[in-house]
Amino acid sequence: MNQAKVEKLVSRLRYNIRSGPRKLKNIDGPEGRLRKIQKTLTAVIKYERIELNYARADETRGYVEQLISEALRHGPHHKETMELANFWIIEKQLVHKLFKVLVPRYENYTTSFTKLHNAPYIYPGFAFKRAILELKGNIYPAVEQINPYQHNLLHNILLDAARKEYRLEKYKKISADMNL
């Protein structure tokens, strides 16, 4: 009996999906919500890093992950994948970027293709939580805070030099006291 590989039949998202319903509304109803997701998804593919409200970033992330995983699995010659890309990506020249740039970049990835970071509020008292949604492997500097304990940072080099100097002076003082 020949068993089909289930992972080839069912798309696997590589990040944890939030449990519980999303309570996102749009004045134009479901169509307006889809248009917003399309615009956001297009911007993510175009700029590879955007800042927006957390709820919209969290929802759009799933669609970006799904689109890239389908493009990876089936390629540009698969009719349904091309229809999916044409539906979600508003600027059609970015469909080529999806297949020519992003698919080769993520071929060997075993984790998610996107990162979602918390961003600071625009001003105190701002009601909406902000987020940064980015594609991994982009050309921009890292958003994550650099480890302050790295030895090659300037302040750590200066502190190490000051410690050495302090120990050397202390050693000289102790050795001078012992020679007396």
- Tens-digit pLDDT profile for residues 84-132: 999 999 999 999 999 999 999 999 998 899 999 988 877 777 778 889 9
More confident residue, 9 or 105: 105
- E-strand spans in 10-92? 49-53
Strands 130-135 and 114-119: antiparallel
Q: For residue 49, report the phi and psi dihedrals to the nearest 5 degrees.
A: -155, 125
Three-class SS state of 6: helix
Per-residue pLDDT at 1? 46
More confident residue, 80 or 10: 80
Give which of 8, 5, 114 is closest to 70, Cα–Cα: 8
Per-residue pLDDT at 20? 67
Domain spans, the chain: 9-135, 150-179
More confident residue, 180 or 62: 62
Q: Which range has highest mean pLDDT (12-21, 62-71, 150-159, 166-175)?
A: 62-71
In whole angstroms, what is the distance from residue 177 CA to residue 180 CA?
5
Q: What predicted TM-score, i.e. pTM, was given to this entire model?
A: 0.71
Q: Band of the pLDDT at 157, cuts 50, 70, 90? A: confident
* pLDDT reading at 167 higher than 70: yes
Q: What is the CATH number of domain 9-135?
A: 3.90.1030.10
* pLDDT reading at 80 higher than 80: yes
